[in-house]
Amino acid sequence: MSRGSVTIIGLGPGDPRLLTGAASEALAQAEDLIGYFPYVARVPERPGLVRHASDNRVEVDRARHALQLAASGRRVAVVSGGDPGVFAMAAAVFEAVDHGEPSWRELDITVEPGITAMLAAAAQLGAPLGGDFCALSLSDNLKPWDVITARLRAVFEADFVAALYNPISSARPWQLGHALGLAAEFRAGSTPVIFARAVSRPDEAIRVMTLDEAREATADMATVVIIGASGTRFIARESGIPFVYTPRSVPG
């Protein structure tokens, strides 16, 4: 029996052209494929690959399953959208290692990085993350809302660009509006805001607007929201939607 392994693979935002070569190689070597079903569906079927697609919100079960299969000698790929280390499966796998069988610590566990949503979204618009920036998940499944608001305040007060993942869901339709309202306490209403949905996928929808406009707009869980810093600027164009960038320099 060969020694098993787990590779946690970033599939990027969707377009297969945004996968790294290393991620493609790792997918080609897998015997078992584990992940949330839309990510598993992105990987073509082939002989010798056993697919284990699961529903959302069972990350730790999925991680334990991957580790059990690897411990039995299988070469397992756990797939994530974007980068597995950014609000995705890598942390769930290492949580399962930390709290699971001691022998799991000695397994061959690797991570193949990917293009996370904020980088893919930024690249579509210009350079909105051109200065210092923070990435936050607005989901309160895993942390209290008062921690989220304290972090948002810190980010806005210190004038970072903010990239918001998991901005909304049917269970909490009000949180993104609350976050944008907080932003408006610190930023001008003319500050650029980007709603980037399903970047590089067939249903891609990218909207560029001001903070005032954003407060009236809607998003969904497939959207990453980027709120500019005080220096973030639009560059108007006759030929299309404006570019958005954050200058590298901050005045003294």
For a copy of itself, the closer CB: 21 or 47: 21
CB of 16 to a copy of itself, least distance (A): 7
- Between the two ends of the chain, the Cα-to-Cα distance in Å is 63
Which class for 59: exposed (0-12), middle (13-18), buried (19 or more C-beta within 10 A)?
buried
Question: CA 121 to CA 105: how far, in whole Å?
Answer: 35
For a copy of itself, the closer CB: 127 or 218: 127
CB of 216 to a copy of itself, least distance (A): 26
For a copy of itself, the closer CB: 195 or 234: 234
Question: CA 8 to CA 5: how far, in whole Å?
Answer: 10
CB of 100 to a copy of itself, least distance (A): 10
CB 211 within 8 A of CB 180: yes
CB of 104 to a copy of itself, least distance (A): 9
For a copy of itself, the closer CB: 61 or 106: 106
The residue type found at 195 is: F
- Of the candidates 43, 50, 122, the one whose C-alpha atom is nearest the C-alpha of residue 79 is 43
Report residue 132 as tokens.
């210092």
CB of 138 to a copy of itself, least distance (A): 10
Question: CA 138 to CA 179: how far, in whole Å?
Answer: 9
Place of tokens 């406009």: 213
CB 53 within 8 A of CB 99: no
For a copy of itself, the closer CB: 110 or 218: 110
Question: CA 23 to CA 26: how far, in whole Å?
Answer: 5
Question: CA 96 to CA 68: how far, in whole Å?
Answer: 11
CB of 147 to a copy of itself, least distance (A): 5
The backbone torsions φ and ψ at residue 86, rounded to the nearest 5 degrees and listed phi first, read: -115, 100
CB of 185 to a copy of itself, least distance (A): 15
For a copy of itself, the closer CB: 69 or 148: 148
For a copy of itself, the closer CB: 223 or 232: 232
